[in-house]
């Protein structure tokens, strides 16, 4: 049903897009964009073209100067203030050009030879490229580079000088662990790629760069291990990234919505993480990672449903306790989506299933409450969602106060006033706490909880069964980059890292269906060598 609705909406959207495109063709033709002119070699004319493209923005600097043996050559630097490292500009470009005095017979040299002299002998920088058009120069400068133009050169040298302020590497607040690495990704693109490269020092780690966004020109990197990642998944990710045509990419969430398989599903089919060790582990299993400039959240694909119940700390602690904690996450997810519905079904339709003593207690607690059980649960759930949203959006000290006031004072006051029963408050509180055990499915659990609540209030246990069956059917129909979303829930797949976590030394193969080619982690299971003891010499 969801696929049918999606196809219909997509059809109407394509029709409307074609009509809008046809109606805007006249407007597009009347717009005059600055032409991407080729450099002429006349410094004044070339700078005028650049000024026409960028306008009169005060942060875009054009520094004109003279250099050469007798300061007879005109030159200029174009850069964006705040995006460059001033030390590179002064010590790596300006000082060498002004102090270099071997420009003898400059006029008799060819343009190519003079440019090569500046590029290979004078300027000190890690990366220098040549650009021929004003548009390429402006694009490079907006990325943090510095362009060097000179009178008589029909090319510009673009020098790498990126040096804007950036956040230090700190522990991510969304993925806190007791044991494990404390570092997290930042908003800096090159820092994130370096963090991943430091974790995976294999020469087969490939990083393909893309530029997406007509206005933002955002750098995007597709990372994978050649020979481990499935070539089909890599090709799919590459094609979907290249097909994105939009004005802006502000966060990796934009990329996720453009390339996911099921945009109308409540379940996420693309993973994300702030921790380099998590992304590195997923890449080593055969997945691809998508790093987006300006955000610390790195996407990973394909994503399986069981990954929502896995944590990076599971692999740093003992396997037996990790398996128990993982099973607790499955129980918590079931409680967060079904606990209110089960409570309503039992108290409204199936009182005979409740022990007599407990039934009398619940009846006494609900005596005098003005609302039916369904409306009572719905109001409490809605109040909890409002308090959760307020706690997230408000500043941290105020948010903590709001949470305490909402959870304790308002709940106690509601029970004392007889608006709600204490058992209902306990059920909703258990539901709320259990939802935070599996944060990756928090959004989907909130929606499923409401659906099951309505079904339980109308059909009882039969409604809950119908709702859960519909959810399972929907999950079974989902795919992530061609991989079934619930693949590891079936017993013909590798079960060593799904419901339980087997010891690392027993995991010989990478996940079946994700990795391709080199799927062997280690050759065979080998027990640790037995210790050898030698008796101390001279002992009696």
Q: How far apart are CA 141 and CA 158, in angstroms?
A: 8
Per-residue pLDDT tens over the stretch 161-194? 888 778 888 888 888 888 888 899 999 998 999 9
- What is the pLDDT at residue 403? 64
Half-sphere exposure of 152 (CA within 13 A, CB side): 15
Distance of CA 21 to the CA centre of its chain: 32
Per-residue pLDDT tens over the stretch 391-401? 777 776 666 66
Half-sphere exposure of 518 (CA within 13 A, CB side): 13
What value does the mean pLDDT take over residues 316-343? 92
Contact indicator for 349, 461 with CB cutoff of 8 Å: yes
Q: How far apart are CA 293 and CA 384, in angstroms?
A: 35
What lies within 8 Å, CB to CB, of 314 at 6+ separation is 322, 325, 326, 501
Q: How far apart are CA 480 and CA 287, in angstroms?
A: 11
- Residue 440 per-residue DSSP state: G
- What is the pLDDT at residue 298? 95
- What is the pLDDT at residue 22? 42
Q: Is a pLDDT exceeding 50 seen at residue 24? A: no
- What is the pLDDT at residue 486? 84
Q: Is a pLDDT exceeding 70 seen at residue 36? A: no
Among the residue ranges 3-17, 32-46, 68-82, the one predicted with the least confidence is: 3-17
Q: ∠ at Cα 247 (243, 252), nearest 5°?
A: 70
Question: DSSP labels for 130-181?
Answer: EE-BHHHHHHHHHTT-EEEEETT-SSEEEE--B----PPP---SSS--SSS-
205 closest CA partner among 530, 523, 518: 518
- What is the pLDDT at residue 33? 43
- Give the mean pLDDT of the chain: 83
**What token pair was written down for 127?**
């990366």
350 closest CA partner among 362, 342, 358: 342
Q: Is a pLDDT exceeding 60 seen at residue 15? A: no
Among the residue ranges 10-14, 72-76, 213-217, the one predicted with the least confidence is: 10-14
Q: How far apart are CA 280 and CA 269, in angstroms?
A: 19
Q: Is a pLDDT exceeding 60 seen at residue 326? A: yes
Cis-peptide into 94, omega within 30 deg = no
List, as own/partner pairs, every contact residues 436-439 make where C-beta atoms lie below 8 angstroms and the sequence separation is at least 24, other chains included: 437/328, 437/329, 437/332, 437/333, 437/336, 438/308, 438/309, 438/329, 438/332, 438/333, 438/336, 439/174
Question: DSSP labels for 213-259?
Answer: -TTT-EEEEEEEETTTB-HHHHHHHHHHHHT---S---SHHHHHHHH
Q: Is a pLDDT exceeding 60 seen at residue 320? A: yes
Contact indicator for 205, 188 with CB cutoff of 8 Å: no
What value does the mean pLDDT take over residues 503-531? 76
What value does the mean pLDDT take over residues 43-51? 89
281 vs 5: which has the higher pLDDT: 281
- What is the pLDDT at residue 527? 63
């Amino acid at each position: 049903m969801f696929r049918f609705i999606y196809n219909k909406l997509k059809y109407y959207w394509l029709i409307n897009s074609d009509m809008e495109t046809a109606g805007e063709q006249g407007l597009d033709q009347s717009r005059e964009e600055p032409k991407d002119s080729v450099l002429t070699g006349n410094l004044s004319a070339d700078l005028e073209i650049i000024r026409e493209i960028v306008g009169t923005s005060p942060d875009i600097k054009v520094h004109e100067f003279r250099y050469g043996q007798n300061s007879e050559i005109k030159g200029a630097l174009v850069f964006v203030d705040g995006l460059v490292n001033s030390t590179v500009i002064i010590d790596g470009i300006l000082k060498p050009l002004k102090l270099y005095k071997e420009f003898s017979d400059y006029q008799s040299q060819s343009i190519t030879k003079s440019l090569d002299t500046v590029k290979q002998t004078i300027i000190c920088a890690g990366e220098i490229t040549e650009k021929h058009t004003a548009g390429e120069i402006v694009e490079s400068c907006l990325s943090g580079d510095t362009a060097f133009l000179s009178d008589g050169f029909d090319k510009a040298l673009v020098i790498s000088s990126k040096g804007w302020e950036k956040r230090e590497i700190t522990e991510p607040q969304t993925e806190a662990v007791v044991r494990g690495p404390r570092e997290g990704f930042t908003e800096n693109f090159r820092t994130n790629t370096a963090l991943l490269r430091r974790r995976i020092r294999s020469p087969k780690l490939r990083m393909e760069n893309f530029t997406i966004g007509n206005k933002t020109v955002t750098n995007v990197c597709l990372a994978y291990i050649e020979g481990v990642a499935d070539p089909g998944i890599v090709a799919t990710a590459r094609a979907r990234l290249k097909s994105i045509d939009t004005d802006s990419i502000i966060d990796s969430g934009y990329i996720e919505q453009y390339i996911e398989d099921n945009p109308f599903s409540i379940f996420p089919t693309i993973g994300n993480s702030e921790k380099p060790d998590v992304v590195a582990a997923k890449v080593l299993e055969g997945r691809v990672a998508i790093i987006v400039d300006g955000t610390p959240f790195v996407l990973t694909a394909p994503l399986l449903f069981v990954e929502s119940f896995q944590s990076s700390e599971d692999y740093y602690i003992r396997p037996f306790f990790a398996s128990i904690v993982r099973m607790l996450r499955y129980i918590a997810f079931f409680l967060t989506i079904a606990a209110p519905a089960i409570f309503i079904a039992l108290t409204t339709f199936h009182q005979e299933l409740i022990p007599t003593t407990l039934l009398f207690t619940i009846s006494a607690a609900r005596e005098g409450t003005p609302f039916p059980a369904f409306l009572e649960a719905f109001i409490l759930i809605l109040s909890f969602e409002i308090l959760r949203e307020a706690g997230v959006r408000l500043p941290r000290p105020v948010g903590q106060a709001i949470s305490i006031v909402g959870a304790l004072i308002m709940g106690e006051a509601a029970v004392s006033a007889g608006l709600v029963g204490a058992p209902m408050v306990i059920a909703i509180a258990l539901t709320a706490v259990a939802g935070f055990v599996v944060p990756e499915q928090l959004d989907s659990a909130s929606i499923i909880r409401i659906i099951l609540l309505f079904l339980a209030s109308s059909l009882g246990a039969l409604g809950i069964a119908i709702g859960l069956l519909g959810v399972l059917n929907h999950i079974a129909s989902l795919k992530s980059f061609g991989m079934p979303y619930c693949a590891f829930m079936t017993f013909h797949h590798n079960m060593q890292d799904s419901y339980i976590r087997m010891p690392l030394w027993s995991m010989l193969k990478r996940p079946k269906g994700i990795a391709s080619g080199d799927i062997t982690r280690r050759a065979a299971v080998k027990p640790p060598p037995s210790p050898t003891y030698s008796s101390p010499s001279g002992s009696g």
